[in-house]
Amino acid sequence: MPALAAILAMIGILGLLIAVHELGHFLAARLQGIHVNRFSIGFGPVLWKYQGAQTEYALRSIPLGGYVGFPDEDPDSSFSPTDPDLMRNRPILDRAIVISAGVIANLILAYVLLVAEVGIVGIPGGVQYQPGVLIAQVAADVSSVATDAGLQARDVVLGINGQSLGKAEAARDLLMNSIRGKAGQPIQLQIKRQDQELDITLVPEAGEEGVARIGVQLAPNGRLVRRPIKNVVELFGAAAQEFQKIIGFMVQTFGQLVGNFQESASQVAGPVGIVAMGADMARSDITSLFQFAAVISVNLAFINILPLPALDGGQLAFLLLEGVRGKPLPNGIQEGVMQVGLFLLLGLGVFMIFLDTAKLMA
């Protein structure tokens, strides 16, 4: 797939994930008869809008999310403050369903994408390994050992100090163990870059606990082999297994982020980084976008359920406090917290865009 087409495809996928998330909120409200007056994808200036019988639908210029608006928040609303179908007048359970529906919609979409992937490309049936170890990613730090030595993502390390790594999953562990004890000592890597073979010498630096590192992420140099599905039961079962793996991976990733925030945060990607990674995958294998989109959809669900202001989890936290207190927090406090949270969220989004762009240009 051409680079521009891959980038546009990835932007379209991100837009789809956001739209499905907001559609979850919208449908959960409308199916319960709750008034909804706005459905927006993105923030900022309006690019396109349509006024329906009850709801204004809009596409906005800053693609960092979206929102579903309720007349409760509109001072010019024609609805009576005591209208039982206003969001604020509904029982806590009704409101919790609306707030959590976006997360549920993203999880459902992730599973549907995995079903589509398995149906199209088949079920994983093992890995066919090629010689060497793949350099999956090079640290964005312009002064890293790998960057200074000229290593690039997608390079394949065939050997180290004249020792061949062979072709097996264990080749990655062999390479990692060969590097770990070489802090401050020059090592020579035999590299394959497309059809060219290179010898690159570098000196690993001492990382945590004195373990040497060169600033790359390694992956087995293998290709997943798939077989066709036998029946519908196998299709949905295989998709469920893939879904479970992604959930487990996401829980582990968030645990690592909390446990070692400084190191893990440097690996976090924003919108530009996600588009770049997805576009790179699309250029090599368009079917890999199914898996990638499913991972991002689950990631979006996990992020939104965090108890932070301006996120779904933050609103659920307000509902929990309301249930404990027997009455909601004063509107002024809720609005103040949500506005600060929204400002910080947008600021973080803009910061991540600049950070991702700097990484790509480095």
**Token duo for residue 265:** 């945060």
pLDDT of res. 154: 86
What is the Cα–Cα distance from 205 to 219, expressed in whole angstroms?
20
pLDDT in tens, 92-116: 999 999 999 999 999 999 999 999 9
Separation between Cα atoms, residue 115 and residue 110, nearest integer Å:
9
Task: Characterize 212-240 residue by residue with b for buried, 16 or more Cβ atoms within 10 angstroms of its Cβ, and e for exposed.
Answer: bbbbbebebbbeeebeebeeeeebbebbe
Give the integer Cα–Cα distance in Å for 294 and 305. Answer: 17
Which residue spans of the chain are classified as CATH 2.30.42.10? 126-227
Does the CA dihedral 297-303-306-309 come out positive or negative?
Answer: negative
pLDDT of residue 119 exceeding 50 = yes
- What is d(CA 183, CA 216) in angstroms, rounded to the nearest whole number? 15
Among the listed residues 294, 297, 295, 333, the one whose alpha carbon sits nearest the alpha carbon of residue 314:
333
pLDDT tens per residue, range 166-206: 888 788 888 888 888 788 888 899 999 888 898 988 888 87
Asked whether residue 76 carries a pLDDT value surpassing 60, the answer given is: yes
Q: Mean pLDDT across the chain, nearest whole number?
A: 79
Q: Cα angle at 73 between 68 and 74, to 5 degrees?
A: 105
Are the C-beta atoms of 1 and 286 separated by less than 8 Å? yes
Distance CA 171, CA 156 (A): 11
Q: What would the pLDDT profile of 7-65 be if each residue is shown by its tens digit? A: 666 677 788 888 999 999 999 999 999 999 999 988 788 999 999 888 999 998 877 77
Token pair recorded at residue 196:
């060219």
Residues 235-268: tens digit of each pLDDT: 999 999 989 988 888 887 777 665 554 444 444 4
Percent share of the chain, pLDDT over 90: 22
> How would you write the chain as a 3-class SS string?
CCHHHHHHHHHHHHHHHHHHHHHHHHHHHHHCCCCCCEEEEEEEEEEEEEECCCCEEEEEEEEEEEEEECHHHCCCCCCCCCCCCCHHHCCHHHHHHHHHHHHHHHHHHHHHHHHHHHHHHCEEEEEEEEEEEEEEEECCCCCCHHHHHCCCCCCEEEEECCEECCCCCHHHHHHHHHHHCCCCCCEEEEEEECCEEEEEEECCEECHHHCEECCEEEEEEEEEEEECCCCHHHHHHHHHHHHHHHHHHHHHHHHHHHHCHHHHHCCCCCHHHHHHHHHHHHHHCCCHHHHHHHHHHHHHHHHHCCCCCCCHHHHHHHHHHHHHHCCCCCHHHHHHHHHHHHHHHHHHHHHHHHHHHHHHHC
| CATH number assigned to the domain with residue range 126-227, chosen from the 4 options 2.60.260.20, 2.30.42.10, 2.40.50.140, 2.40.50.1020 | 2.30.42.10
Radius of gyration for the chain, computed over Cα atoms and rounded to the nearest angstrom: 24
Can you give the pTM of this predicted structure?
Answer: 0.69
* Active-site residue (options: 22, 197, 209, 242): 22
**Cβ neighbours of residue 326 closer than 8 Å, sequence gap 6 or more:** none
Polymer length in residues for the chain: 362
User: Which residues partner with 187 through β-bridges?
Assistant: 202
In the residue annotation, 263 being an active-site residue is answered as no
